Amino acid sequence: MPTVSVWEDTRTFFPLFLAQIEQIGARSVCVVGASDGKFVLPLARRGLHVLAIERDPSSVDGGPVKLPGPIDTVVPGLRKRVAEEGLIDHVTIVQADLFEVDVAEPRADAVWTSCSWHYSINHSRPLADFIAAMSRLCRSQGGVFGAEYMMPVAPRHFEVEHYPGEGQVRGHLPGWQIDWETYTPAFVEAPHVGQLAEHVHRMGLI
């Protein structure tokens, strides 16, 4: 039986990415910032091979977490969720920083990340480096690069390039054909892990 991610109810453009990879007949996808598998497991259930990159040990192997309520609980983690659904043959988990991952051939048909580069732990590297490292994981001919990301809302966001404004991510993808680029207005997100009260987001997709 499919299990539920702690991120299950957060908003996402992921269905648009799925439509794009179905168009190219993708067989493999790399998910950067795999967390506990919100995107990894749906891809694997479709029979795709997924390279799941995640640096956080608790996301990979589970551990205590505080959920809205607040509720203290223990989450299973990506590795256990993959095993419980019988998807081990479809998922390769790499517990490492994105910049430590060797780029192997053949590269994935597509690469996806969801709101990963805005975390402060990634601010030590320029946004351009993060996007370049992601794009190197994807085949250059006919591959799909998909990223949803946080845009600036609070005053502090406008001082950090990892909260890019409209059109700014496009400049970090020279040579790529942009099929989708869209943005939300500011919206109120329900409480979730890491943000236990209602909060305001704005998101982009490229």
Residue 6 belongs to a domain? no
Q: How many whole angstroms separate alpha carbon 114 and alpha carbon 21?
A: 16
Q: Which tens digits make up the pLDDT trace of 164-178? A: 999 999 999 999 999
Residue 3 belongs to a domain? no
Residue 179 belongs to a domain? yes
Q: How many whole angstroms separate alpha carbon 79 and alpha carbon 198?
A: 30
Phi, psi of 65 (to 5 degrees): -150, 150
* Residue 163: per-residue pLDDT: 98
Which CATH number belongs to the domain containing residue 169 in this structure?
3.40.50.150
Q: Can you give the pTM of this predicted structure? A: 0.95
User: Residue 123 corresponds to which tokens in the numbers above?
Assistant: 């601010």
Residue 157 belongs to a domain? yes
As for how many domains the chain has, the answer is: 1
Q: How many whole angstroms separate alpha carbon 206 and alpha carbon 204?
A: 7
**Sign of torsion over alpha carbons 137, 140, 144, 147:** positive
- Calculate Rg over the CA atoms of the chain: 16
> Is the pLDDT higher at 69 or at 31?
31
Q: How many whole angstroms separate alpha carbon 97 and alpha carbon 115?
A: 15
Segment 92-108 mean pLDDT: 90
Segment 165-192 mean pLDDT: 94
Residue numbers of the domain that contains 199 = 14-205
